[in-house]
């Protein structure tokens, strides 16, 4: 098979895969979630095997414990989250109105000096419209995610289908990997294995590491905001921790929400407002200098902007299933793109006929084909 035919074959396979993913997106959630769960728990199953527990027993033990922890967590967090979210949504209009009132009071002297006092009502209207449009966009996006997966976001799919899929995938994981590896073209097998290892390293490093970062930050923000007495502090803190899966987005979102609530609640007590700000500044410092370097590392290669685009794009196209697939697909595309760039920089197309082989140092660091 010529190179052109190989390229055509893989492009056609990619198109078919995307088409099937789009058509079947309404029923894929428990299967994608089960596959992701098996992938994340496979290292733990391997460790249990090393201490003498069979693969079947290790898989069963891991999933039983996981389901129990998941159910207990839902029983504790869901009632609290529902109550807090409902109360917060009811208070948002009053918070926005109060913020506009405070802003107009503080800006009025400045506008009087500039002779633009008449434009103050227009500014208030513009700010209100901007906030309303932002909230409407967020609501529409979340509604789209929900409508894309609501048929399977049920107790049955979460507690029955997904664990069953994860169990069978976890039991047969090593066998499936060996089978897929045996299908690889012999001439390109080493290269494909190297790319697969880089993809696995990127996905595992980011997902497992960033999940720990989210848990730690969410706990810190929730406890810190609750201690200073901020209304909805625990909810805002947990939300900020959850959104920290996208670097900087969680902290920025939590900062905006908490500062808005703090200004309305504590004004004119600047001490408590600055304490709220200090919690997020300290959390961001710890994340950037301690948590992310230690838990995630620098070799993941997922830029925050690329990750944000992938989450929004796949979420809009495939709903909740798209959110689950966004990170691994973004990591895979990033690794493949870096590999393609390294091949281009080493090819005559870049260096010219008979020219020296030049490998860009950043690409060489990112793609280690001999690993």
216-229 pLDDT, tens digit each: 888 899 899 888 88
159: three-class secondary structure by DSSP = helix
Instruction: Compute φ and ψ for 246, nearest 5 degrees.
Output: -100, 110
8: which residues sit within 8 A by CB, 6+ positions away? none
Tell me how crowded residue 234 is: count the other CB atoms within 10 A of its CB. Answer: 18
* CA separation for the pair 219, 234 (Å, rounded): 9
pLDDT in tens, 319-363: 767 777 787 888 888 888 888 888 878 777 777 665 555 444 444
Rounded Cα distance, 108 and 46, in Å = 66
Write down how long the chain is: 371
Return the higher-pLDDT residue of 60 and 307: 60
pTM value is: 0.67
Most confident of 178-182, 248-252, 273-277, 341-345: 273-277
Structural domain boundaries in the chain: 29-183, 189-371
Mean pLDDT of the residues in the chain: 75
Mean pLDDT of 233-258: 82
User: Which residues lie below 8 Å from residue 239, measured CB to CB, with a gap of 6+?
Assistant: 250, 253, 254, 257
pLDDT bin (cut points 50, 70, 90) of residue 371 is: very low
Position 297 pLDDT exceeds 70: no
pLDDT in tens, 184-240: 877 778 888 888 888 888 787 777 777 888 888 888 998 998 888 888 888 888 888
At 62-83, the pLDDT tens digits run 888 888 888 888 788 777 777 7
| CA angle centred on 66, ends 63 and 68, rounded to 5° | 110
Q: What is the DSSP string of 69-137?
A: HHHHHHHHHHHHHHHHHHHHHHHHHHHHHHHHHHHHHHHHHHHHHHT-GGGHHHHHHHHHHHHHHHHHH
- Residue 130 pLDDT level (bands cut at 50, 70, 90): low
Region of residue 248 (phi > 0: left; psi between -120 and 50: alpha; otherwise: beta): left
Contact 320, 153 (CB under 8 A): yes
Q: What pLDDT was estimated at residue 122?
A: 60
- DSSP per-residue codes, 167-195: HHHHHTHHHHHHHHHHTS-STTHHHHHHH
User: Cβ(59)–Cβ(163) under 8 Å?
Assistant: no
């Amino acid at each position: 098979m010529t190179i052109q035919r190989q390229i055509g074959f893989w492009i056609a396979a990619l198109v078919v895969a995307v088409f099937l993913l789009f058509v079947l997106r309404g029923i894929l959630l428990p299967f994608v979630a089960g596959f992701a769960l098996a992938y994340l728990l496979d290292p733990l199953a391997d460790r249990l095997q090393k201490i003498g527990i069979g693969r079947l027993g290790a898989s069963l033990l891991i999933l039983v414990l996981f389901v129990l922890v998941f159910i207990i967590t839902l029983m504790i967090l869901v009632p609290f989250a529902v109550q807090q979210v409902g109360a917060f949504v009811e208070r948002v209009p009053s918070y926005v109105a109060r913020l506009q009132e405070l802003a107009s009071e503080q800006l009025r002297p400045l506008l009087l000096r500039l002779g633009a006092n008449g434009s103050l009502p227009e500014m208030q209207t513009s700010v209100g419209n901007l906030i309303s449009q932002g909230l409407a966009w967020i609501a529409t996006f979340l509604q789209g995610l929900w409508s894309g997966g609501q048929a399977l976001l049920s107790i049955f799919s979460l507690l029955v289908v997904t664990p069953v899929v994860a169990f069978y995938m976890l039991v047969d994981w090593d066998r499936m990997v060996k089978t897929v590896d045996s299908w690889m073209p012999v001439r390109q097998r080493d290269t494909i294995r190297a790319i697969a290892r880089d993809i696995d390293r990127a996905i595992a490093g980011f997902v497992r590491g960033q999940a720990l970062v989210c848990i730690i930050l969410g706990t810190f923000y929730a406890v810190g905001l609750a201690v200073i007495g901020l209304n909805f502090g625990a909810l805002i803190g947990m939300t900020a921790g959850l959104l920290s899966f996208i670097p900087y987005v969680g902290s920025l979102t939590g900062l905006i929400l908490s500062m808005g609530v703090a200004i309305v609640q504590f004004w004119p007590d600047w001490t408590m407002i600055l304490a709220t700000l200090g919690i997020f500044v300290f959390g961001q410092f710890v994340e950037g200098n301690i948590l992310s370097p230690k838990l995630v590392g620098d070799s993941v290669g997922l830029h925050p902007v690329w990750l944000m685009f992938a989450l929004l794009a796949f979420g809009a196209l495939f709903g909740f299933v798209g959110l689950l697939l966004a990170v691994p697909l973004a990591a895979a595309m990033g690794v493949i793109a870096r590999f393609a760039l390294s091949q281009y920089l080493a090819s005559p197309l870049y260096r010219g006929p008979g020219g020296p082989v030049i490998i860009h140092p950043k690409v060489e660091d990112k793609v280690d084909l001999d690993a």
